[in-house]
């Protein structure tokens, strides 16, 4: 129902990068966001590799990458 009412940029997502053998290399996850988004990068064991945070700048999206 929320997909019909909200913009898709506000909804959560999970993206997995998988090698040819089917093993998960990296998982990218962003939870539901209203204003500034934060994306978490984890390895196949669930350990945090880094994150990407959105910074507020007028008329220009800016992101900071943390490891």
pLDDT of 26-64, one tens digit each?
Answer: 999 988 776 778 889 999 998 999 998 888 777 777 888
Give how many domains the chain has, as a whole number: 1
From residue 5, how far is each of 15, 36, 40, 55 by CA, in Å?
Answer: 23, 19, 25, 25
Please report the pLDDT score of residue 6 as a whole number.
57
The range of the structural domain enclosing residue 49 comes to 2-66
The answer to whether the beta carbons of residues 27 and 10 sit under 8 Å apart is no
Query: Which of 60, 52, 56 has the alpha carbon at shortest distance from 30?
Result: 52
pTM beyond cutoff 0.75: no
Provide the pLDDT for residue 31. Answer: 81
8 pLDDT exceeds 70?
Answer: no
**Phi and psi at residue 56, to the nearest 5°:** -85, 120
């Amino acid at each position: 129902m929320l997909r019909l009412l909200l913009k898709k940029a506000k909804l959560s997502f999970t993206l997995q990068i998988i090698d040819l053998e089917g093993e998960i290399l990296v998982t990218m996850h962003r939870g539901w966001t209203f204003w500034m988004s934060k994306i978490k990068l984890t390895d196949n064991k669930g350990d945090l590799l880094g994150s990407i945070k959105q910074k507020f700048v007028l008329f220009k999206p800016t992101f900071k990458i943390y490891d």
